[in-house]
């Protein structure tokens, strides 16, 4: 997980938080059950939408997050990654 920038980590956490805009955001337990494939699909859709709408946004952290997720092999490794990523919000 050290390979990810803080911005990419932040982007990924947004997929799992109950209220990301809260002063003290917490993990939504149902969202934490999302599979890697589901998160990747949501992330890829978001990237596609940004490109399609030609928004002036730096897509590098989004693409970096997607690339990193694709490199995580196996469900156990994914769950360990999630635990590390979401630990500050639990």
**Model confidence at 25: pLDDT above 80:** yes
Please report the pLDDT score of residue 4 as a whole number: 93
Are the CB atoms for 15 and 31 separated by under 8 Å?
A: yes
Are the CB atoms for 65 and 80 separated by under 8 Å?
A: no
Task: Tell me the pLDDT tens digit for each residue of 42-72.
Answer: 999 999 999 999 989 999 999 999 999 999 9
CA 4/CA 2 separation, integer angstroms = 5
**Model confidence at 86: pLDDT above 70:** yes
For the chain, the domains span 6-89
**Model confidence at 1: pLDDT above 70:** no
Please report the pLDDT score of residue 72 as a whole number: 95
Please report the pLDDT score of residue 21 as a whole number: 82
């Amino acid at each position: 997980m050290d390979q990810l920038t803080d911005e990419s980590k932040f982007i990924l956490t947004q997929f799992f938080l109950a209220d990301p805009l809260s002063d003290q955001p917490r993990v939504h337990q149902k969202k934490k059950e999302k599979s890697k494939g589901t998160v990747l699909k949501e992330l890829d859709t978001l990237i596609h939408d940004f490109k399609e709408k030609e928004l002036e946004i730096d897509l590098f952290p989004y693409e970096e997050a997607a690339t990193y997720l694709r490199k995580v092999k196996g469900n156990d490794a994914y769950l360990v990654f999630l635990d590390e990523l979401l630990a500050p919000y639990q």
